């Protein structure tokens, strides 16, 4: 059920291409830097919980590396990009 306080967030992301943001030149630098620090602290047995997963770029990348990943996203529009 949508909370009225979330309306602004949901409306924004319904009209914003979040998936392309991390694919841009600047976004890819953000992604690579974040992944560097995430991977630095993970162990082979780590389990990852991503809150505010957006379109799941981080979650999917970590899952492909074999980590157990759970992701939560508020904005349903972002989940259509699940790969």
Rg of the chain's alpha carbons, rounded to an integer? Answer: 14
The tens digit of pLDDT for each residue in 9-20 reads 777 767 777 777
Bigger pLDDT: 39 vs 23: 39
Instruction: Write down the pLDDT at residue 9.
Output: 73
Q: Kindly state the percentage of the chain with pLDDT values over 70.
A: 87
- List C-alpha distances in Å: 9 to 23, 54, 69: 21, 12, 24
Q: Following DSSP, what letter does each residue of 17-49 receive, concatenated?
A: -HHHHTTSHHHHHHHHHHHHHHHHH--TT-EEE
pLDDT surpasses 80 at 30: yes
The tens digit of pLDDT for each residue in 54-79 reads 889 999 999 999 999 999 988 877 77
In order of their start, the domains of the chain are 4-81 (3.40.50.150)
DSSP 3-state of 64:
helix
């Amino acid at each position: 059920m949508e909370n009225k306080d979330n309306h602004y967030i949901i409306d924004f992301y319904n009209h914003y291409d979040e998936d392309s943001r991390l694919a841009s030149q600047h976004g890819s630098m953000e992604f690579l830097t974040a992944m560097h620090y995430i991977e630095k602290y993970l162990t082979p047995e780590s389990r990852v919980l991503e809150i505010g997963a957006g379109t799941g770029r981080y979650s999917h990348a970590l899952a492909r590396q074999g980590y157990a990943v759970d992701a939560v996203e508020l904005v349903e529009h972002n989940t259509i990009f699940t790969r």
